[in-house]
Amino acid sequence: MKVNSFRRRFEITGPSGSGKSFCSQKLSLNAEHIPWVRGFMGFFKLMFSNYDAFLFIFNKTIRSDRNFWHVLRVFFHVFAKVDTMFLACDKFPIVDEGISHIPFILNLSQQDLQKFVRLFSSHLTTLVIIFVYTPLELRRKHLLSRGHKRIRNVKDLNFILSQHENIFFLYYLEMLNIGCSVYVFNNSIQVDMDFG
């Protein structure tokens, strides 16, 4: 697939454990991973370009957990995703977990998800977003075998699985409503085969 000719960025997103990186490799997309150090740049760029969006993201980030170190990790992770808004499409034509992945990182409620889409709609509508979907039980199996920084116990696992399931469907519909180019890649067979 020659994506440079489209002059639009492709972003891969989806629930935790859905196999986004695996999907990228299988489709030979060579997606870029945005390093966390870009969080500094994303923080200041958003603050000076869209203060309402900045306040929303900042408040959701600092309230994402009670553990300071976790909040700090989320802060850099989220604002690095924000920085993708300001990167040239020809240099980063395909991004694994760009700005479109923020609702999954912050576990946004339906109301907050709608606000996120509204605040970032002018950028989101310029993207081609590939949602990777894997059934909940396969994601549970994947997260239990691989682990995840945000999962400390079974309660965390169940919360993230159910929250991300809700976000996936609500987010997909919100994106369609604002006219985004969105596609769903069903990763059921690939993830199942990956576990042997």
What are 26-70's pLDDT values in tens digits? Answer: 665 667 778 888 999 999 999 999 999 999 999 999 998 888 988
The confidence score (pLDDT) of residue 177 equals 93
* Domains of the chain, start order: 4-194 (3.40.50)
Mean pLDDT of the region 6-16: 82
- For 24-80, strand residue ranges (E) read 32-33
**189-196 contacts: CB < 8 A, separation 24 or more?**
190/19, 190/22, 190/23, 190/26, 191/18, 191/19, 191/22, 191/134, 191/138, 191/139, 191/142, 192/138, 194/19, 194/22, 194/142, 195/138, 195/141, 195/142, 195/145
Q: Using one digit for the tens of pLDDT, what is the confidence trace for 95-117?
A: 888 999 999 999 999 999 999 99
Between helix 68-83 and helix 51-62 the angle, nearest 10°, is 150
Asked whether the predicted pLDDT for residue 192 surpasses 50, the reply is no
Asked whether the predicted pLDDT for residue 186 surpasses 60, the reply is yes
Residues with Cβ < 8 Å from 47, sequence gap 6 or more?
Answer: 54
Residue pair 47/56 in contact by the 8 Å Cβ criterion: no
Q: Using one digit for the tens of pLDDT, what is the confidence trace for 138-160?
A: 888 878 777 676 677 788 888 88
The confidence score (pLDDT) of residue 30 equals 66
Q: Residue 51: is it exposed, middle or buried by C-beta count within 10 angstroms (0-12/13-18/19+)?
A: exposed
Asked whether the predicted pLDDT for residue 125 surpasses 60, the reply is yes
Q: In this structure, which amino acid lies at residue 105?
A: I
Separation between Cα atoms, residue 73 and residue 131, nearest integer Å: 24
